[in-house]
Amino acid sequence: MSERHDDLFWRDRHEPITESDAFLREIVEQAELPPLLVALAAATGETAGLTPELRPPLTPVNTVGHPHGGMTAEQQASARELAYEGLRRLRDQQITTVDTLPDDTVTELLDYLTDGRRAWADSLKHELDLAADKGGAPDWHFAELAGGRPFDVLIVGSGVAGIAAGHRFSQAGVPFTMIDAADGLAGTWRKNRYPGVRLDTPTFGYSYSFAQRTDWPHQFAQGGEIEDYLLTVAERAGLSDRIEFGTRLVSATWQEDADAWEVVTRTADGDRTRLFHAVISAVGQLDLPNIPDFEGLEHFRGVTMHSQEWDPSVDWRGKRVAVIGTGASAYQIVPAIYADVASLTVFQRSAPWMLPAPTYHAPMSETFDWLARKVPHFGQWFRLWVTVQGIPGRFHTVRAEEGWSGAPLSVSPINQAVRDELIGRLAEQFEGRPDLLEIAIPSYPPGAKRMLRDNGVWAQALRAPHTTVVTSGIEAFTEHGIRTADGVEHELDVVILATGFKPSDYLDAIDVVGRDGVELHEFWKGDARAYNGITVPGFPNFFMQYGPNVGGVVAGSLHFMLERAAEYALEAVRELLTRGVASLDVTPEALDRFVEWVDRENQQMAWGQPYVSSWYQNGAGRVSQVWPYTNAEYWEITERIDPQDYTFR
Ligand code: NAP
């Protein structure tokens, strides 16, 4: 990595372009134009062509994304000419590098990509290696600020969130210990190994700002590819050897006298107690399997396994297999196994909405690969372009309109239009199977639950002659299978519980005792709340990553949210060191204000309507999982530790 660039995948040089004009003409025909134009402008220093007339309009995306951000045919034609000339120039002048850009150029290029939305600029610069003021990495070092003061941090978890925290804390030189209950890193991507596991959001929207891999094989990365990426990131960040695996956090108790958390961790060898001045919880949100309390489960003589606890030794091929659930995990398992089983029974409680994703199983295109190899920083600009489009995301399709008559099936005219379009697709996919079509149409508005990505494989699996979709409720397990409410007994050998997780049970099974002996779960009373999704009053120096209310569902980047939480926690440590105080504790007023702010917006969304229910809500009925704003707002609220929101001791 170049010292100057906050990117573990930084490359100084790209391959020189040697191809003919005709080849370059082909490339510009196939390329996504906005990121190519900015990449060429950055590399050649020639920005004059990026006129306001040529800006992509960022046409709102209802279902399928618009190529080139919705540029008109005329814009595309002009953009292709400009890109062609730019590629020729790279070739003729043998330009293979690009470096940090002048601030004016960064502004110009971001103005181009965002059609002038300056409010997004700072959050986007967090992602842009070429910006001199790229946000994220600490610009201070522990040794300079601590003055010999001991300060030890515990990071719990080495999944996507923990790696982000580990990297940022390590950059700042803050001493930390990292533990993980599992025997290796990568969190959810280590655990979820079921057939078909892959990303169901675009790969280029799913990586760290400080580790911008560009040679991804697939448009929607396979599970193993993401696990490999995380292993590589941890290796390059120097984290791999410093994680205590097989070590579970049992409890953390704030010791007022010591201004530290007394932490009990458990390994196969027993318990260990130690003190830490701050704790970062990076334990993940979708980690605790939801195993419904099915009657008679213990009597079933076949095999049951939860999607996350897939047992590779189970021989399911040629067997009578059932999948319970039709969420994101089931959606990947069913198409991956159906061809190899004797019979497949899918138990559906409610049907999923599926957004069209024709390239769901596709590799990155050859044009993309060529551009990423030959045009300096193209892959990173493409990643930024995905991020830009993800800021507004699909919010406009899920915002409820007051007095809308289509409830409870839709929440607004656009939401109804999306519903109609998706039903039209289902009608095509289930043509000739009215029985399946009838049960495939969800009875709730699009967006009320997480939408899946579809390229037709789900319908194909359900249409197979040996597949049965059962909508009658599960009454009980029997020795030989499952009996449903209609009295039918379905004989089965293997039952896969794709029944999801318990996302609202934050830090379940961990005792976190804060000031005055208050336990975190008692404080929450089933309704987990945290200021900015990170801090909780009465729990000083305790920071959550992917805590309550920071999960994006129709917009934004998960990595952005996790990185910002890590950076915010690190900023809090800096604040403690510079102020020379031992602890900081968020005020109850700040938390109430935050919760009121997110609740108000969530109530405007499809998932916040009183007639819908999903894992976005907790037992108290509040939407406690979802972040209802954009990345740009999260950037703003995590930019600094506001002293008015904290008490320092
Ligand atoms: P999920 O979305 O919560 O789906 C669970 C399914 O099980 C639902 O269809 C649910 O029905 C059903 N179910 C639960 N309890 C049941 C019961 N007692 N009887 C019958 N059916 C029952 O869980 P998931 O599919 O594991 O996905 C969870 C989240 O993980 C996703 O939303 C996503 O955020 C993440 N994920 C991501 C990926 C990816 O990126 N590739 C893949 C998998 C998962 P109802 O809908 O009626 O509640």
Q: Closest Cα partner for 349 from 370, 325, 366, 380?
A: 325
The response to whether residue 327 sits with its C-beta less than 6 Å from ligand 1 reads yes
Would residue 228 count as lying in a domain?
Answer: no
Helix residue spans in 267-365 (DSSP H): 328-337
Is there an atom of ligand 1 within 6 Å of 453 CB?
Answer: no
What is the per-residue pLDDT across 311-365, written as a single tens digit (0 to 9) for each?
A: 999 999 999 999 999 999 999 999 999 999 999 999 999 999 999 999 999 999 9
Alpha carbons within 13 A on the beta-carbon side of 308: 16
Residue 459 lies in a domain: yes
Residue 200 domain flag: no
Give tens-digit pLDDT for 159-186.
Answer: 999 999 999 999 999 999 999 999 999 9
Q: What is the pLDDT of residues 268-308, one digit of tens each?
A: 999 999 999 999 999 998 889 999 999 999 999 999 999 99
Whether the CB-CB separation of 163 and 190 falls below 8 Å is answered with: no
Q: Indicate if 533 and 476 belong to the same structural domain.
A: no
Model pLDDT, residue 1: 45
Average confidence (pLDDT) over 94-116 = 97
Ligand 1 atom at shortest distance from the alpha carbon of 201: 40
| 612 and 525 in a common domain | yes
Question: What's the gap in Å between 644 CA and the centre of ligand 1?
Answer: 40
Same domain, 444 and 530: no
556 and 439 share one domain:
no
With a 6 Å cutoff on the Cβ, whether 292 touches ligand 1 is yes
Q: For residues 597-613, give the mean pLDDT.
A: 97
Residue nearest to atom 28 of ligand 1 (CA): 500
Determine, yes or no, domain membership for 225: no
Q: Which domain holds residue 158?
A: 142-185+239-288+503-639
Per residue in 13-25, pLDDT (tens digit) is 999 999 999 999 9
Percent of the chain's residues with pLDDT above 70: 99
pLDDT tens-digit readout, 11-65: 999 999 999 999 999 999 999 999 999 999 999 999 999 999 999 999 999 999 9
Show Cβ contacts of residue 575 under 8 Å, excluding neighbours closer than 6 positions: 584, 641, 648
- Among 470, 497, 524, residue at a domain's last position: 497
For residues 379 and 372, is the Cβ–Cβ distance under 8 A? yes
Q: Is residue 207 part of a domain?
A: no
Pocket flag, ligand 1, residue 499 (CB < 6 Å): yes
β-pair partners for 265: 249, 272
Contact 50, 381 (CB under 8 A): no
- pLDDT score, position 517: 98
Q: Rounded CA gap, 315 and 302, in Å?
A: 11
Count of the separate structural domains present in the chain:
3
CATH code, 301 = 3.50.50.60
CA of 254 to the centre of ligand 1 (A): 36
Q: How confident is the model at residue 89 (pLDDT cuts 50, 70, 90)?
A: very high
Q: What is the pLDDT of residues 532-542, one digit of tens each?
A: 999 999 999 99
Position 220 in a domain: no
Q: Output the pLDDT for position 391.
A: 97
Per-residue model confidence as pLDDT tens digits over 130-156: 999 999 999 999 999 999 999 999 999
Asked which of 473, 497, 521 is the last residue of a domain, the reply is: 497
Question: Does residue 2 register a pLDDT over 60?
Answer: no
| Residue 5 within any structural domain of the chain | no
Q: From the CB of 498, is ligand 1 less than 6 Å away?
A: yes
Same structural domain for residues 576 and 462?
no
Distance CA 629, CA 384 (A): 19
> What's the rounded Cα separation, in Å, for the pair 124 and 137?
14
- Strand-pairing partners, residue 482, are 477, 490
The verdict on 115 and 171 lying in the same domain is: no
Q: pLDDT at position 85, please? A: 98
pLDDT at 471: 98
412 with 488, same domain: the answer is yes
Q: What is the signed CA dihedral for 343, 345, 351, 352, rounded to 10 degrees?
A: -60
DSSP per-residue string spanning 214-251: ---SBSS-BHHHHHHHHHHHHHHTT-GGGEETT-EEEE
Distance in Å, CA 478 to ligand 1 centroid: 23
**Domain boundary pick from 373, 390, 407:** 390
Residue 307, ligand 1, Cβ within 6 A: yes
Residues 368 and 477 both lie in one domain: no
Give yes or no for residue 472 CB within 6 A of ligand 1.
no
Beta carbons within 8 Å of 405's beta carbon, 6+ residues apart: none
Residues 197-228: tens digit of each pLDDT: 999 999 999 999 999 999 999 999 999 999 99
Of 220, 226, 326, the one to substitute when testing ligand 1's pocket (max ligand atoms within 8 A of C-beta) is 326
What is the three-class DSSP state of 306?
A: strand
Look at residue 3 in the predicted model and tell me its pLDDT.
63
3-state secondary structure of 452: strand
**Same domain for 422 and 331?**
yes
The single-letter DSSP state of residue 323 is E
* CB 62 less than 6 A from any atom of ligand 1: no
Is 306 in the same domain as 374?
no
Closest ligand 1 atom to 308 CA: 26
In a domain, 197, yes or no: no
105 with 49, same domain: the answer is: yes
Rg (CA), the chain: 26
pLDDT at residue number 504? 83
**Same domain for 488 and 519:** no
Task: Please count the other Cβ atoms lying within 10 Å of the Cβ belonging to residue 90.
Answer: 21
Measure 451 CA to ligand 1 centroid, in angstroms.
Answer: 11
Reported as a single tens digit per residue, the pLDDT across 541-595 is: 999 999 999 999 999 999 999 999 999 999 999 999 999 999 999 999 999 999 9
The distance from CA 567 to its chain's CA centroid, rounded to whole angstroms, is 17
- Counting from 1 in the atom list of ligand 1, the atom nearest the Cα of 326 is 9
